[in-house]
A and B are shown apart, each in its own frame.
Chain A
Amino acid sequence: QGRLVQSGADVKKTGASVKVSCKSSGYTFRDHYLHFVRQAPGQGLEWMGWVNPKSGATNYPQKFKGRVTLTTDTSIDTAYMELRRLTPDDTAVYYCAKEFSSYGDALDLWGPGTRVTVSS
């Protein structure tokens, strides 16, 4: 099944950038797309995009294009999510999640989440 371990909580000022890491173990990192999903306090889940560790290809929803970048370092089985030009509305828990093609590309393994707080 595997495991995803994320970086620790972070506090940023408005206008800054944040970079969240997601280290995988227990499965072949290059074989599965990695997604990032965020959850604002008391709110639902919001999909931020995926990265293909094998090729580096990415896909982002329109809302985040130009502001988020997903990358991977296959030498250490780690994915990264960088979000720029932060505002207080970006305060959320950020999850990474592994896609599993045998489950119809559903997200079958989730990290514990990284809490990001943006203050003005």
Chain B
Amino acid sequence: AQKVTQAQTEISVVEKEDVTLDCVYETRDTTYYLFWYKQPPSGELVFLIRRNSFDEQNEISGRYSWNFQKSTSSFNFTITASQVVDSAVYFCALSVRVTSYDKVIFGPGTSLSVIP
């Protein structure tokens, strides 16, 4: 079965705190892709990162960092020194092969509120 779990439904932090959003996925595929998207209150989906299953290097982009661990099927996302503009719903997603095309499966999302 293909599944993405984001156990944290809602998180509130005070501005400048660090926060980690958890993502656990399930797939039997050996080749797959993992994503994080942000959906701000305005509604659009903002692409944050894509990682393929063969690349376990962690990545840092400004205040954002991602920790991919195949051994635990996790792809966690950390925001350092959070800001009010980080308030949004964050979705972890898994892309797997279905016959001849990719299908993206989203987790339920984590709603992050950053309080000034």
> Real complex partners, A and B?
no
